[in-house]
Amino acid sequence: MATKLFDLITETDARNIEPGSTIRLAPRGIVTPLAADTLRARRVTVIADDGVRGDPGLVPAGDIRRVAIAADHSGVALKAALVPWLRGRGLAVADLGVADGTPADYPDTAAAVARAVVRAEADAGIVIDGVGLGSAIAANKVDGIRAAMCVNETLARYARQHNGANVLALGATLLTIEEAKPIVARFLETPMTEPRYIARLAKIARLESA
């Protein structure tokens, strides 16, 4: 009998799969973190059609403990304020530069953060330039990155909750330090949990290889 092919496995799905069975995951399909725990507990084997075991990594980390941050020369002051503030909130922060006003290109600083996130060296990233758009565009060129430029808490919440963003882009000329802090806090504190939103991440991922 053919084994059912899953594009998305949620915790509800996992609880309805017979213990000890084997299931198939579509290429670049998603196993949510809670589902992965349930599948392990029920001794269910997941075989991906692309030869890779189902990876919950498409779903952004809900409990963010490690943050990678970088800025071009226009965002140095904002970054300098955010780094100790983030550490004061108990987060491990990897400051990937730059350190002064020497001209730096935003594609380089954004790429450094994006690569740290896709390598699982950080749970989320923050990229800063003059208005944030360039860094968002550059970061999004790295497979697995969903960067969102946010100028308020509402956008930060939607970016995470609905779109599974794993990198936040900030514009240093658009926001004061005190305006940026609640945006960053909202982004880092908002998890993505709804299966209907998570299912769309697989479609986004497939666009990267289209």
Delimit the domains of the chain by residue range: 5-57, 66-189
Any idea which fold 66-189 has?
Ribose 5-phosphate Isomerase B; Chain: A, (3.40.1400)
Set 162, 181, 200, 206: catalytic member: 162
Phi/psi of residue 187, each to 5°?
A: -60, -45
Query: Which tokens sit at 27?
Result: 């290429």
pLDDT tens-digit profile, the chain (210 residues): 446 788 888 889 999 998 888 888 887 678 887 888 888 888 887 776 554 333 445 778 888 999 999 999 999 999 999 999 999 999 999 999 999 989 999 999 999 999 999 998 999 999 999 999 999 999 999 988 999 999 999 999 999 999 999 999 999 999 999 999 999 999 999 988 777 787 788 778 778 766
197 token code pair = 């939103």
Q: In what order do the strands lie in the sheet with 22-31?
A: 5-9, 22-31, 45-48
Instruction: Tell me, yes or no, if 162 is annotated catalytic.
Output: yes
Q: How far apart are CA 89 and CA 155, in angstroms?
A: 22
- Using DSSP's 3-state secondary structure scheme, residue 172 falls into coil
